[in-house]
Amino acid sequence: MRRFLLALVVAAPLGAQANRPADLIVTNARIYTVDDSKPVVAAMAIRDGTIAFTGSAREAMALRGPSTKVMDVSGRTIIPGTVDAHAHLLGLGQSLKTVALYGAKSYDEVIARVVARAKGVPAGQWIEGRGWDQNQWGDTRFPTHDALTRALPNNPVYLTRVDGHAGLANAAAMKAANVTAASKDPSGGKIERTASGEPTGVFIDNAKSLLERAIPPSTREQTRSDLRAAIAESHRWGLVGLHDAGESKTTIDILEDMARAGEFNFRLYMMIGDDSAALAHYFARGPQSALYDNRLWIRTIKLYADGALGSRGAALLEPYNDDAKNNGLLLSAPAHIQDVASRALKAGFQVATHAIGDRGNRIVLDAYDAALKQNPVADHRFRVEHAQVINHDDIPRFAQLGVIPSMQAVHQTSDMYWAGTRLGQGRLLGAYAWRSLLNTGIVVPNGSDFPVEAVNPLLSFHSAVSRQDAENWPAGGWLAEQKMTREEALKSMTIWPAYAGFQEATMGSLSPGKLADFVILDRDIMTVADRDILGTLVVATYIGGKPVYERTQVP
């Protein structure tokens, strides 16, 4: 009811001011509006941060006033601002300050990258890195800390191996962690040692925690600067917002402070991590939408059903094809998912549950089904995050229950090399099956799960339409019958995330009255060959009619 009254109040002045001059008119563009009533236009006018008009340049220019800025974009392509429907903002901020060691061809190169980053870092401050892989070096034995310690004597350094299952520490880090020859191997872990029993610097599996627990937690100010860096990085790739797949109340509080202070221009749809105190707090407060001038939404709970496929943690109905005794792991009791879903329905919240395996997905659908029977809510928009492997019988249930599969197309192209080994051919038919889900009449919002994958939203756009990796492998695409069309893939990173976030009235398309969030690209992603999609450059990103990123040089 309150929403209805607000709409009336807003409608009156809009009518009276319909001919007020625009702030910005964009001309000579190929604008894919994602608005079915006018799908492709050449111009648009923007006023007060929202779209005032889309159509021909002649009509748009009728809104020109003395202070209107006119921008001729030389025939470039414009799409609505893209939104990543599943990503981790703080994780990205933290990974940006971590030294990337991926692809280093020698231990010397690893050390050189860390030394380059260490310039200007005060003595005593920890430096972290990730991605080394001694199998890519001439000598494939594990490294020892000595050379690292000589190069970096004054800062504790901790470098995680590419798979996350081993860490390399220098002497300062081991000193800070009180690790010595007397330290014992924890269960499920191993300290690599010299012949005389001294730690070599490499810590395996559970032994990593001996080092990791010595790393001081981020201060509030560090977290703030990590979040700012992650938002700036997102802008560079054409993102105007994202759905953050689970943060603590502490992090959400910091984001609220930042939004209140006007510190960022970005549309953040938060999912609250599964924590009983946080849930009680937010349920009592009630769902929050479009806070601080459309910067923050807090109305979703993130749950976990199972683990991931690569580490055989995804819960499967039948054992793994390559591990006959293993059905994967359940991270939450099914009753817990149903309980939180019931409470969320009563409190007006959405639930988004991570489910990768076919058993994980079925458990979530069953839990949602039971919760909805107890508390019928027509427009709940409950979500399954990843929805990666689905049993044939469960594919129609998403549409029947009104549950949104929130998928990350780029996971398909990252996993396709080994997914068949884990699952066997039969189960592959329901894996990364966005075409089968779309055919049931529902939407499939797209995302990246960054920093698990790279930030660039076009990676998932490309995977969705080609089902090929960046080298165009395999020819024709992997399980090619599951491809999306370009139009669907564009919707999957604009209007479908908006729908999954209850934002479709203000976001997701370039329609009069909606927020003026858009991206200028150097090529037409709707018509270029599949192999040319990933070369696309973002020329500029606009949020609320204002540039938040502009490329300095466009070839």
Sole window of 9-17, 110-118, 425-433, 443-451 interacting with Zn ion (rule: CB under 5 A): 443-451
CA 172 to CA 464: how far, in whole Å? 46
CA 434 to chain centre: 18
Compare residues 29 and 245 and give the one whose CB is closer to Zn ion. 245
Compare residues 251 and 466 and give the one whose CB is closer to Zn ion. 251
Residue 243 CB, shortest distance to Zn ion, in Å, is 10
Compare residues 432 and 549 and give the one whose CB is closer to Zn ion. 432
Sole window of 52-60, 239-247, 258-266, 408-416 interacting with Zn ion (rule: CB under 5 A): 239-247
Collect all residues with Cβ–Cβ distance below 8 Å to 289 and sequence separation of at least 6: 297, 299, 502, 503
Compare residues 245 and 479 and give the one whose CB is closer to Zn ion. 245
Report the b/e string of 325-364 with b at 16+ CB within 10 A.
eebbbbbbeeebbbebbbbbbebebbbbbbbbbbbbbbbb
Residue 449 CB, shortest distance to Zn ion, in Å, is 4
Residue 242, strand partner residues: 84, 268
Sole window of 99-107, 240-248, 295-303, 534-542 interacting with Zn ion (rule: CB under 5 A): 240-248
CA 357 to CA 307: how far, in whole Å? 8
Which of 449, 453, 504, 517 binds Zn ion (CB under 5 A)? It is 449
Residue 6 CB, shortest distance to Zn ion, in Å, is 34
Compare residues 245 and 298 and give the one whose CB is closer to Zn ion. 245
Report the b/e string of 493-518 with b at 16+ CB within 10 A.
bbbbbbbbbbbbebbbbbbbebbbbb
Compare residues 45 and 245 and give the one whose CB is closer to Zn ion. 245
Collect all residues with Cβ–Cβ distance below 8 Å to 195 and sequence separation of at least 6: none
Token pair 């560079």: residue: 236
Residue 89 CB, shortest distance to Zn ion, in Å, is 11
Residue 451 CB, shortest distance to Zn ion, in Å, is 10
Residue 505 CB, shortest distance to Zn ion, in Å, is 27
Residue 450 CB, shortest distance to Zn ion, in Å, is 9
Please classify residue 471 by burial: count the beta carbons closer than 10 Å to its beta carbon, then call 0-12 exposed, 13-18 middle and 19+ buried.
exposed
Residue 88 CB, shortest distance to Zn ion, in Å, is 6
Compare residues 84 and 449 and give the one whose CB is closer to Zn ion. 449
Is residue 352 within 8 A of residue 271, CB to CB? The reply is yes
CA 328 to CA 543: how far, in whole Å? 42
Collect all residues with Cβ–Cβ distance below 8 Å to 62 and sequence separation of at least 6: none
Compare residues 306 and 449 and give the one whose CB is closer to Zn ion. 449
Compare residues 245 and 403 and give the one whose CB is closer to Zn ion. 245
Count of residues of this chain found to bind Zn ion when the rule CB under 5 A is applied: 2
Compare residues 73 and 245 and give the one whose CB is closer to Zn ion. 245
Using CA atoms in the order 176, 182, 187, 188, what is the torsion angle rounded to 10 degrees?
60
Residue 385 CB, shortest distance to Zn ion, in Å, is 7
x-or-dash string of contact with Zn ion, 127-146, rule CB under 5 A: --------------------
Tokens of 159: 């470098």
The yes or no reply on residue 176 touching Zn ion (CB under 5 A) is no
CA 525 to CA 536: how far, in whole Å? 8
Q: Which of 321, 328, 326 is nearest to 357 (CA)?
A: 328
Is residue 76 within 8 A of residue 89, CB to CB? The reply is no
Sole window of 227-235, 254-262, 448-456, 523-531 interacting with Zn ion (rule: CB under 5 A): 448-456
Compare residues 345 and 419 and give the one whose CB is closer to Zn ion. 419
Residue 444 CB, shortest distance to Zn ion, in Å, is 16
Sole window of 133-141, 315-323, 345-353, 445-453 interacting with Zn ion (rule: CB under 5 A): 445-453
The yes or no reply on residue 245 touching Zn ion (CB under 5 A) is yes
Sole window of 115-123, 180-188, 242-250, 331-339 interacting with Zn ion (rule: CB under 5 A): 242-250
Residue 302 CB, shortest distance to Zn ion, in Å, is 9
The yes or no reply on residue 244 touching Zn ion (CB under 5 A) is no
x-or-dash string of contact with Zn ion, 394-413, rule CB under 5 A: --------------------
Compare residues 246 and 545 and give the one whose CB is closer to Zn ion. 246
x-or-dash string of contact with Zn ion, 197-236, rule CB under 5 A: ----------------------------------------
Is residue 88 within 8 A of residue 245, CB to CB? The reply is yes
CA 51 to chain centre: 26
Q: Which residues bind Zn ion (CB under 5 A)?
A: 245, 449
